[in-house]
Amino acid sequence: MMQPGMVYEYPLWGVGLLLAGAAALGALLLGLAVRLLLSLELRRRHNDVAAAIFSVIGVTFAVLLAFVAMAVWDHYNAAMATSYAEAGSVRDVYDVSLGFSCRMRDRKDWRPPTPPFRRWSGSLP
């Protein structure tokens, strides 16, 4: 039975290699079955139709691939914009923390930002 966590148990490259190998093996077995079951004359008559069908399938696949690439690029741009907004907010928090009054900074529980934070926020655009 399929468990939700099974996806993370196997390496991605192994699953991809297994799927590609299964698809290649399936195509090979289908080709052999067609050669054995259908006569040569029947296959020659349907050759032109098969070429037209394969070209339509190829164009459809190319269009779908273009839509997927466009969607991924849009998500990438949105993630980049979000990370820039977060970085700007972190920089704002740092700038505001420097503006605390002396009385606030003299409290025992107030600490200035740590050096790694300063190094990281200093590299922001």
Three-state SS at 123: coil
CA angle 67, 62, 11 (to 5 degrees): 75
Write the single-letter amino acid at 117.
F
pTM of the model: 0.48
Asked if residue 9 belongs to a domain, the reply is no
Asked if residue 1 belongs to a domain, the reply is no
Mean pLDDT of 58-72: 96
Residue 111 has pLDDT above 80, yes or no: no
What residue numbers bound the domain in which 108 lies? Answer: 64-125
Asked if residue 91 belongs to a domain, the reply is yes
Q: 34 falls in which pLDDT band (50, 70, 90)? A: very high
Distances (CA, A) of 5 to 1, 11, 19: 12, 13, 19
Phi, psi of 114 (to 5 degrees): -75, 155
- Among 18, 25, 21, 23, which residue's Cα sits nearest to residue 10? 18
Asked if residue 23 belongs to a domain, the reply is no
Asked if residue 82 belongs to a domain, the reply is yes
Mean pLDDT of 14-34: 94
Q: Residue 12's pLDDT is what?
A: 84
* Total number of domains constituting the chain: 1
Contact 123, 91 (CB under 8 A): no
Q: Residue 57's pLDDT is what?
A: 95
Asked if residue 78 belongs to a domain, the reply is yes
Asked if residue 41 belongs to a domain, the reply is no
Q: Residue 121's pLDDT is what?
A: 56
